[in-house]
Amino acid sequence: MVLKMVLAAAAAAAVLAGSGAADAGATLDAIKARGSFKCGVGTGTPGFHYPGSDGVWRGFNVSICRAIAVALFNDPNKVEFVPFTAQQRFPALQTGEVDILSNNTTWTLTRDSQLGFNFGPTVFYDGQGFMVNKKLGVKSAKQLGGATVCVQPGTTTELNLTDYFREHKLQFTSVVIEQVAELRAAFFGGRCDVYTNDSSALAADRSAATNPDDYIVLPERISKEPLGPLVRHGDDQWFDVMKWTVYAMIEAEEFGIKKTNLDSFANTNVPQIKRLLGMEPGMGKALGLDDKFAYNIIKTIGNYGDIFETNLGAGSAIKLERGMNDLWTRGGMQYAIPFR
Amino acid sequence: MAGLAHPKTAPSAGLDWIPRVWNNRLVRTTLYQAVLFGGVIWMFAYFTGNAVENMARLGITSGYGFLDRPANLPIGEGIIAYTPADSYGRAILVGLLNTFKVTIIGCVLVTILGVTLGIMRLSPNPLLSGLVQTYIEVIRNTPLLLQLFFWYVIVRQLPAPRQAFNPLDGVFISNRGVQIPWLEADAGLWWIASALGLAILGSLAYRRMAMARQARTGEFTPVLPLALVLLLVLPALAAWLFSVPIIPTIPELKGFNFVGGTSLTPEFTALLTGLTMYTIAFVAEIVRSGVQSVAHGQWEAARSLGLRDRRILRLIILPQALRVIVPPMTSTYLNYAKNSSLAVAIGYPDLVSVVNTTMNQTGQSVETIAILMAVYLSISLSISAFMNWYNRRIALTER
Ligand SMILES: N[C@@H](CCC(=O)N[C@@H](CS)C(=O)NCC(=O)O)C(=O)O
C-alpha cells in the first residue's frame, strides 16, 4: 500500500519542492558538472531495455541513451539507467529524478503540452496490436467481442483499447496490472484471452515466452505509436543534444556510414560527410559538443540501422522487419534533418 | 560576592517582569505552540508557492476540471455501471467503491475468522493451538505483498473457462474467477433489499425485548425462529406486493467468457483472501491476549455456577476481554483499509489503482494525490470514530 502511495506522494512532493532545476540550460549544466546523466527506461522488455545477467543494461532504447553519453563525454558508460513502469515514468522525469526517458513512450499532444515534456525524433514508428493464443482460433481483432484483455495502466495502450472496442461496439473485460512482468505472467498463464501493447513490444514479449509458437499477433494495427526519447520542458540545449544524437545516427545510415566501415571515410571529399564526422568544424560546437561527437557515436554505438539490427532485427531473437522504420530512401519514414 | 549573596538587590531598571513572564508556564507553552504553528504554516505556504511556480514553469496545468472529462480507462470490475466513455470522476468513484467493497467484506470476515482463530489458539488441545500458533508466526513474518502474489498465482492455476470446474449447476470455477447465478438487477430489487433490512432491524429489536424480559423475569424466549420467519417472509412479501420480477441469471460459457450470473474475479478473490488470511493472524493474537487478560477467577466462579465453558466464554469472558480487544482492533481495521491499496500489484481496480492511472493520463499529480489523501483520511477517521464510539459503549460502567 504505502510503497505506492509514498512513491506517488514523493513524486508530488518533489514537484512541490523541486528547486529551479529546469532553468534554461540548467539540466545540461548539471549533467556536465556531474559527469553523467540519468536515463529512465522500462523495467525489462527484450530488445528494448533489459538488464543482462551481468547487470548491464542493453537494448535499443538503452543504446539511444548510451549514444547521448558518447556525444557528451565520449564514454557510453557515463549514464545511469533507472527502470520505471509506465505509471511511474512521468513524475520521475517531471521532478528531475531522471534527465531523459528512453522507454517506448508514445508522443502525444497531452504529454507534449499538459505534462510538460519535449519529444525527440521518433526512433520507432509503431502501432498497437493484439496477441492471442492460437488455440482460440481468432484471426482478426473484430472477433474479440467478449474477450478478457490484459493491458498496462498509464499507457496510450489502455486508451486506444477502449476507443477501439467502443468504435466497433464490442464488449470486453480488462485486467490492468502495472508491473509488466506480472501482466505477462497473467496473460501467458491464461488469465486473459488477449494481450494488447505496441506491436513491437508484443513481438518482444512473445519471443520471451516459453512457447512462442502458441501465440500469434493479429494483423490489425489500431493506433499510431510514435515512440521516442523525451525530456522535460525548460532546457532547450539539452533537448537539442538529444535530438541531434538521434539524427546523427540516422544521417550516418543515410550515407552508409557504419560502425564497421567508419574509418574508410577518413579521406572522403563529400562535404556533408565531412561536416557530420567533424572533419569540417562547427556542427558539434554549435550544440556545445565535441565536433567529433557523431564520429564518436558511430564508432562506439553504431548508426541507426546498426542498433536496430542487433537489438530488434535479424541479429536478435525478435526479428522485427525494418518496415516503417527503414530509411525514407528505401520507402520507410526515418529521415535525418540536415547537418549544416 | 555581594551580587551572588543578594541577587534581588541588583538594580533591574524595571525589567524584572521579563523572567517573571518568561517563567510563566502558560506564556511559555503558548509561545512555543505559536512558533511551531507559524513554522508549519510557513512551510506549507513555501511548498505551495514552490509547487505553483514549478508547475507553471513546466507548463503543467492545475485544477479539478479533469474530473468531468471522459476517462477512456478500462476498469475490470465495479459495483456501479461504468463504461470508458464515463468521466474521470466516475472512474474514481468506481475505484472508491471497489476499495469499500474489499474493506467492508474483509473487516467482517476478519472479525469472525480472527476471533475464531484466537479462541482456537487458546484451546487446551496442544495440536490445535500449536497449528494455529505456527500459522500466526508464518503469516506475520512474511511480507503481505508476497502473500498477495502467492494467492494470485494460486487462483490463476485454475483451469481455463472451457475446462472450468462445474461443482453445482450454474456454478463455474476457472481462472476467470468463480461464477454464480444471481438475480437480475432491477429497480424493484431495492424493495426487497429494504424489506430485508426491515427484517433484520425487527429481529434485533425482538432480541432486545427478549433479553430485557429474561433480565426481568429470568424466562428465556427463543429469538431465532421468529427472526428466520421475518427474514424469509418480509422479502418474499415485498417481491409479491411490488410484483418484482425475480429473474435469476445463470452463468453460461459464451465465446471467450461466462456471461450471466455474477462473478468473483481472481483479482478480488486473491486480494480478499490474502488480506484476510494476513489480518486474522493479528486479530487472533489480539483476541488471545484479551481473553488471557480476564482474571482466571472469572472462569472458576462461572464454572462453580454450573455454566459450560462455551457459555462462559461467550457470556462472561469475551464481554470483559472486549475492553482490551477493541483498541488494538481499531488499528487492525485501519491497517486493513490501508493495506487494501496493495491491490494495484495484482490488478484489482481499487481507488489507488484508478487514481494513479488518472494521475498518469492527466498529469494532475497534486490534485490526484490530494484526492487520495482526503479519501484515506476520511476512511481512517470514520473507522476510528466508529470504534471509539463502540469502545465507549462497552467500557466498564461503574455503578
Ligand atoms: N507506448 C505506450 C506504451 C508504454 C510502454 O510500453 N511503456 C514501457 C516503458 S515505460 C513499458 O512498459 N515497457 C515494459 C517494461 O517495463 O519493460 C505508451 O507510451 O503509453
Instruction: Look at residues A287, A188, A295, A169 and name the one whose alpha carbon lies nearest to residue A238.
Output: A287
Same fold flag, A24-125+227-259+296-330 and A128-223: yes
Q: What is the pLDDT of residues B162-209, one digit of tens each?
A: 889 988 888 999 999 999 888 765 666 777 888 889 999 999 999 889
Give the residue from chain A lying closest to B160, CA to CA: A190
**Grid coordinates given for B269:** 478473490
A230 at B interface, C-beta within 8 A: no
pLDDT of residue B189: 72
Arithmetic mean of pLDDT, B48-54: 79
A147-151 sheet: strands from edge to edge: A172-176, A147-151, A194-198, A128-133, A215-217
CA distance linking residue B268 with residue B272, whole number of Å: 6
Contacts of B360 in chain A (CB under 8 A): 86-87, 90, 153-154
**How big is the CA angle at B152 (ends B151 and B155), to the nearest 5 degrees?**
85
- pLDDT value of position A24: 57
Least confident window among A18-32, B85-99, B197-211? A18-32
- Round to whole Å and give the CA distance between A156 and A128: 9
Is the predicted pLDDT of residue B10 greater than 80, yes or no?
no
Grid cell, residue A212, equals: 512462442
Candidates A173, A184, A193: best to mutate against B (most CBs of B within 10 A) is: A173
* DSSP conformational letter for B264: E
pLDDT higher for B230 or B133? Answer: B133
The confidence band for A19, taking pLDDT boundaries of 50, 70 and 90, is very low
A154 C-alpha to center of ligand 1: Å?
9
Rounded to the nearest 5°, which phi and psi values hold at A40? -85, 130
Whether the predicted pLDDT of A223 surpasses 80? yes
Q: Do B363 and A16 touch (CB under 8 A)?
A: no
Question: Distance between CA A248 and CA B289 in Å, rounded?
Answer: 71
Closest C-alpha to ligand 1, atom 11: A42
Write the DSSP assignment of A233-299 as a string of letters.
TT-HHHHHHHHHHHHHHHHHHHTT--TTTGGGGTT---HHHHHHTTSSSSHHHHTTS-TTHHHHHHH
Which of A58, A105, A187 for mutating ligand 1's site (highest number of atoms within 8 Å of CB)?
A105
Lowest mean pLDDT among A95-104, B310-319, B342-351: B310-319
Task: Provide φ and ψ at B221, rounded to 5°.
Answer: -110, 125
Taking only residues 240 to 259 of chain B, the set having a beta carbon closer than 8 angstroms to any beta carbon of chain A reads: 254-257, 259
The grid coordinates of residue A213 equal 509458437
Q: How close, in Å, is residue A37 to chain B by CA atoms?
A: 20
Put simply, the chain A residues between 3 and 22 with a CB less than 8 A from any chain B CB are: 3-5, 8-9, 11-13, 15-18, 20, 22
Give the count of Cβ contacts less than 8 A between chain A and B.
172
Which position has the higher pLDDT, B395 or B390? B390
Determine whether the shortest distance from the Cβ of A311 to ligand 1 is under 6 A: no
CA nearest to B154 within chain A: A189
Q: Which residue has the higher pLDDT, B185 or A59?
A: A59
The pLDDT of residue A23 = 52
List the Cα angle B92/A199/B87 in 5-degree steps: 15
DSSP string of A123-146? SEEE-EEEEEEGGG---SGGG-TT
Q: Which CATH number fits domain A24-125+227-259+296-330: 3.40.50.300, 3.40.190.10, 3.90.1200.10, 1.10.287.3510?
A: 3.40.190.10
pLDDT at position A5 over 50: no
- The β-bridge relationship of strands A194-198 and A147-151 is parallel
User: Cα dihedral angle (B1, B2, B5, B10), rounded to 10 degrees?
Assistant: -130
Please name the residue that has the C-alpha cell 498529469: B363
Q: What is the mean pLDDT of residues B262-283?
A: 95
As assigned by CATH, the class of the A128-223 domain is alpha beta
Q: Does B69 touch chain A (CB under 8 A)?
A: no
Question: What pLDDT is recorded for position A294?
Answer: 97
Band of the pLDDT at B235, cuts 50, 70, 90?
confident
- Give the residue, by CA position, lying nearest to ligand 1 atom 10: A86
Check whether B388 has a pLDDT greater than 80: yes
Q: Which CATH architecture has domain B88-181+250-393?
A: Orthogonal Bundle (1.10)
Categorize the per-residue pLDDT at B397 as very low, low, confident or very high, splitting at 50, 70 and 90.
low
Q: What is the pLDDT of residue B332?
A: 94
Atom of ligand 1 nearest to the CA of A154: 20
Mean pLDDT to the nearest integer, A19-45:
84
Neighbours of A149 (CB within 10 A): 26
- Helix, strand, coil shares of chain B, percent, nearest 5, are 70, 5, 25
B175, B344, B365 member nearest A11 (Cβ) = B365
Contacts of B320 (CB under 8 A, 6+ apart): B294, B298
Residue type, A11: A
- Segment B140-168 shows an average pLDDT of 93
Nearest ligand 1 atom to the CA of A50 is 17
Q: Could you tell me the three cell numbers for B124?
A: 487446551
Across chain B, which distance is largest between two alpha carbons, in Å?
104
Length, in residues, of chain A: 340
C-beta separation of A313 from A322 below 8 A: yes
- Of chain A, the end-to-end C-alpha distance in Å amounts to 53
A245 CB within 6 A, ligand 1: no
How many beta carbons lie within 10 A of that of residue B354, not counting itself?
27
pLDDT computed for residue B11 by the predictor: 55
B363:A116 CB<8 A:
yes
Q: A63 CA to middle of ligand 1, Å? A: 17
**CA end-to-end span of chain B, whole Å?**
64
Are the beta carbons of B340 and A1 separated by less than 8 Å?
yes
Q: How far is CA B140 from its chain centroid?
A: 19
Single out the residue of A284, A218, A290, A295 nearest to residue A252, CA to CA: A295
Listed by start position, the domains of chain A span 24-125+227-259+296-330, 128-223
- Contact residues on chain A for B153, CB-CB shorter than 8 A: 185
Across B222-241, average pLDDT: 85
Instruction: Judge whether residue B330 has pLDDT over 80.
Output: yes
In the numeric block, the cell 418480509 is attached to B234
Scan for cell 470483559, then name that residue: B320
Chain A within 8 Å of B389 (Cβ-Cβ)? no
Q: How far is the CA of A3 from the centre of ligand 1 (A)?
A: 21
Residue A235: band (very low, low, confident or very high) from pLDDT cuts 50, 70, 90: very high
Match 480476564 to its residue by C-alpha cell.
Answer: B294
User: Distance (Å, rounded) from C-alpha B228 to C-alpha A11?
Assistant: 54
Chain B hits for A189, Cβ within 8 Å:
156-157, 175
CB atoms A8 and B372 under 8 Å: yes
- Please work out whether the CB of residue A94 comes within 6 Å of at least one atom of ligand 1: no
* Predicted confidence band of residue A2 (pLDDT cuts 50, 70, 90): very low
Is the per-residue pLDDT at B7 higher than 60? no
Of the listed ranges B43-47, B144-148, B235-239, the one predicted with least confidence: B235-239
A63 Cα to chain B: minimum distance (Å): 26
Mutating which of B356, B373, B375 best tests the A interface, going by the most A Cβ atoms within 10 A?
B356
- What integer pLDDT is reported at residue B2 of this predicted model? 45
pLDDT recorded at residue B223? 85
Burial class (CB in 10 A: 0-12, 13-18, 19+), B227: middle
What is the pLDDT, as a whole number, of residue B254?
Answer: 86
B24 CA → ligand 1 middle, Å = 63
Measured in whole angstroms, the distance separating CA B250 from the mean position of its chain's CA atoms is: 31
Mean pLDDT, rounded, of chain A: 92
Subunit contact B360:A90, Cβ cutoff 8 A: yes
The kind and range of the H/E element at A40 are strand A37-41
Share of chain A above pLDDT 90, in %: 91
How far apart CA A193 and CA A190 sit, in angstroms, is 7
Could you identify the atom of ligand 1 that is nearest to the CA of residue A86? Answer: 10
Q: Which of A178-182, A307-311, B63-67, B85-89 has the lowest mean pLDDT?
A: B63-67
Whether the per-residue pLDDT at B62 is higher than 80: the answer is no
Q: Which residues pair with A150 in a beta bridge?
A: A175, A195
If you average pLDDT over residues B231-258, what whole number do you get? 82
Residue A4's pLDDT band (cuts 50, 70, 90):
very low
pLDDT at A155 over 90: yes
User: Helices marked H in chain A — which ranges?
Assistant: 2-17, 26-34, 60-73, 86-94, 109-112, 156-167, 180-188, 199-207, 236-254, 271-276, 283-286, 293-300, 304-311
**Residue in the structure block whose three cell numbers are 481499487:** B350
In this prediction the pTM is: 0.84
pLDDT of residue A6 exceeding 90, the answer is no
Cβ–ligand 1 contact at A46 (below 6 Å)? no
CB of B73 within 8 Å of any CB in chain A?
Answer: yes
Specify the residue for cell string 424466549: B221
pLDDT at residue number B394 = 82
| d(C-alpha A233, C-alpha A113), whole Å | 9
Least confident range from A263-272, A309-318, B210-219: namely B210-219
Could you read off the pLDDT of B38-48 as tens digits, one per residue? 999 999 888 88
State yes or no: pLDDT of A143 exceeds 50.
yes
Closest atom of ligand 1 to A83 CA is 16
The answer to whether the CB of A102 is under 6 A from ligand 1 is: no
